[in-house]
Amino acid sequence: MKRYLLLVFMVAALSLNAGAMTGDVNGDGTVNITDVNLVINSILGGTYIAEADANHDGVVNISDVNQIINIILTGAVIEDDITPKDIVLDDSDLTEPAEVIPDDEDALDFGDYVENTVWALTVRINFDGDSATVTGNPSTVMVEIDGAHVTVTSAAKRVRYILTGTTPDGSIKFYSERKFQVQLAGVDITNPHGAAINNQCGKSFYLVLNGGTENTLRDGTEYTMVEDEDQKAALFSEGQILVSGKGKLNVYSTGKHCIASDDFIFVRPGCHLYLNSTSGHGIKAKDYVHIKGGVINMEINADGAKGINCDSLVYITGGRTTIINSGTTKMETDSLGNPVSTGVAGVKADCNMTMTGGILNIKSTGNDAKGINVAEPFLFTGGEMNIVVTGRKAANDPKGVKCDTDCTIQGGSFYSCALHGLALDVEGTTTIADGYTTRNDADPRLLEIIY
Ligand SMILES: [Ca+2]
Ligand SMILES: [Ca+2]
Ligand SMILES: [Ca+2]
């Protein structure tokens, strides 16, 4: 399948994309003795380097040295023949199955659904330039307004807040003793000094994107912090964020993450999210992230950042999530002056990652990038996953899917392509169940399994 092209050496060096040439281990556009030495170093060091694996058989050994020497001697240029799938953002509507809403009060997830609470009070907050107005609040819901910066302190039960209007210098912050609902009903909030929405309540935070509305939240590059309070994102909540509704929410972060919860984040069918970050993660949660549905598009361009980053579990059971991540490794020094590096990925789970349905598309283009980086078992039973990693190695090995324990693929459609690394790198056991109709694993840079 390789295309052998005999070209004048200089023409080759000028015309070919470095990195698309077999044997060019260091990616400088030429194949020479330096590349041979790098292969020998890879063999002696016992480390797998995708570029050193010149014949793409999954191991680096003397055959690769011979192949590269042959390329040098003959002047042949072998173009690599892997063309990964196209991964592009897609905000088109998604036809999703009718959602089942639990109606048994004892069900573990009964409280995750905004429909299962009877909302008693409605408070309306409208932003208008450098001011804001509030209507409908009882004495148990105290609202302070400073310009367009609104602080709600509530002891009331079953309150829903409906937000509208636009401000270039505003925010809304909640202190509540009870769970509450916020409806975004056509609101555009930019806070140059921190989070646009800041929820300090640890109880359920129902975020409803009203159908037919487009809403936008933006943070600023520098956050003004309050002592003993977290504020980690343009949309931050101490409690779980339960996203529903048929509207659209755009979140732009330039200071921290787009959306962060110190609990879990649950995204339901019907909603559209667009997350754009030049500073942090798209979605960051502590307890888990569950994508049950919806259309999620992310453009992440920050070193060390992930599209989805969870200190615990990531579940994908529906929807269509597309993550384009162009960051690379974040290099810092700690207080002792030691180098500290933070990797970049489409999705990173510090515990398990499970996908049973929906679509997950990831493209990571930066050097060192992973498509998915999961610390505990990775289980793929259904849906469609497409991972494309195009960057090279700088400080760390780029990989399609990296799993520190066991990996099981047993249904759906799985595709992973890392142009300069392994499509799948599993430290534990890899189990690919029988019954697939397609299995494409001849080249370690590409793995495709379709059931
Ligand atoms: Ca080279
Ligand atoms: Ca090889
Ligand atoms: Ca906290």
Q: What is the 3-state secondary structure (H, E, C) of 313-379?
A: EEEECCCEEEEEECCCCEEEECCCCCEEEECCEEEEECCCEEECCCEEEEEECCCCCEEEEECCCEE
Q: How far is the CA of 25 from the centre of ligand 2 (A)?
A: 12
* CB contact at 8 A, 194 and 234: no
CATH number of the structural domain 3-79: 1.10.1330.10
Q: How far is the CA of 406 from the centre of ligand 2 (A)?
A: 25
* pLDDT at residue 217, rounded to an integer: 98
* pLDDT at residue 56, rounded to an integer: 84
Q: How far is the CA of 419 from the centre of ligand 2 (A)?
A: 15
| Spatial separation of the C-alpha atoms in residues 207 and 160, rounded to whole Å | 10
**CA nearest 201: which of 181, 183, 175, 225?**
175
Q: How far is the CA of 46 from the centre of ligand 1 (A)?
A: 20
| Spatial separation of the C-alpha atoms in residues 67 and 55, rounded to whole Å | 7
List pLDDT tens digits, range 314-334. Answer: 999 999 999 999 999 999 999
Q: How far is the CA of 22 from the centre of ligand 1 (A)?
A: 10
Closest ligand to 198 CA? Answer: 3
Closest ligand to 30 CA? Answer: 1
| Spatial separation of the C-alpha atoms in residues 262 and 230, rounded to whole Å | 9
* pLDDT at residue 442, rounded to an integer: 87
Question: What's the start-to-end Cα distance of the chain, in Å?
Answer: 25
Q: What is the mean pLDDT of residues 49-58?
A: 84
Closest ligand to 59 CA? Answer: 2
pLDDT at 7 > cutoff 50: no
What is the signed CA dihedral for 403, 404, 406, 407, rounded to 10 degrees?
A: 0
Q: Which residues contact 385 (CB under 8 A, 6 or more apart)?
A: 355, 359, 360, 361, 412, 413, 414, 415, 416
* CB contact at 8 A, 271 and 209: yes
What are the extents of the domains in the chain?
3-79, 110-450
Phi, psi of 252 (to 5 degrees): -115, 125
pLDDT at 32 > cutoff 50: yes
Q: How far is the CA of 133 from the centre of ligand 3 (A)?
A: 29
pLDDT at 59 > cutoff 50: yes
Closest ligand to 228 CA? Answer: 3
| Spatial separation of the C-alpha atoms in residues 230 and 309, rounded to whole Å | 17
| Spatial separation of the C-alpha atoms in residues 260 and 87, rounded to whole Å | 25
Q: How confident is the model at residue 14 (pLDDT cuts 50, 70, 90)?
A: very low
Q: How far is the CA of 193 from the centre of ligand 3 (A)?
A: 19
Q: How far is the CA of 48 from the centre of ligand 2 (A)?
A: 9
Closest ligand to 22 CA? Answer: 1
Closest ligand to 42 CA? Answer: 2
Q: How confident is the model at residue 13 (pLDDT cuts 50, 70, 90)?
A: very low
Q: How confident is the model at residue 20 (pLDDT cuts 50, 70, 90)?
A: low
Six-digit token string for 231 = 């504020």
List pLDDT tens digits, range 150-160. Answer: 999 999 999 99
List pLDDT tens digits, range 217-242. Answer: 999 999 999 999 999 999 999 999 99
What is the distance of C-alpha 227 from the center of its chain?
30
Query: What is the value of pTM for the model shown?
Result: 0.91
Q: How far is the CA of 12 from the centre of ligand 2 (A)?
A: 23
Residue 260 CB: number of other CB atoms within 10 A? Answer: 27
Angle between helix 33-45 and 62-74 (nearest 10): 180
Q: What percent of the chain has pLDDT over 90?
A: 84
Q: How far is the CA of 67 from the centre of ligand 2 (A)?
A: 9
Closest ligand to 12 CA? Answer: 1
* pLDDT at residue 5, rounded to an integer: 40
Q: How far is the CA of 423 from the centre of ligand 2 (A)?
A: 15
CA distances to 84, 316, 383, 413 from 451, rounded to whole Å, are: 20, 18, 10, 6
* CB contact at 8 A, 207 and 243: yes
Q: How far is the CA of 205 from the centre of ligand 3 (A)?
A: 14
CA distances to 20, 249, 387, 436 from 296, rounded to whole Å, are: 32, 10, 16, 28
Q: How far is the CA of 138 from the centre of ligand 1 (A)?
A: 71
| Spatial separation of the C-alpha atoms in residues 51 and 384, rounded to whole Å | 28
| Spatial separation of the C-alpha atoms in residues 88 and 300, rounded to whole Å | 13
Closest ligand to 238 CA? Answer: 3
Q: How far is the CA of 54 from the centre of ligand 2 (A)?
A: 6
List pLDDT tens digits, range 259-314. Answer: 999 999 999 999 999 999 999 999 999 999 999 999 999 999 999 999 999 999 99
Q: How far is the CA of 259 from the centre of ligand 3 (A)?
A: 14
pLDDT at 114 > cutoff 50: yes
Q: How far is the CA of 233 from the centre of ligand 3 (A)?
A: 12
Arithmetic mean of pLDDT over the chain: 93
Q: How far is the CA of 59 from the centre of ligand 2 (A)?
A: 4
| Spatial separation of the C-alpha atoms in residues 351 and 287, rounded to whole Å | 10
Neighbours of ion ligand 3 (CB under 5 A): 230, 262
- Range with the poorest average pLDDT among 63-72, 83-92, 213-222, 269-278: 63-72
Q: How confident is the model at residue 12 (pLDDT cuts 50, 70, 90)?
A: very low
| Spatial separation of the C-alpha atoms in residues 51 and 393, rounded to whole Å | 9
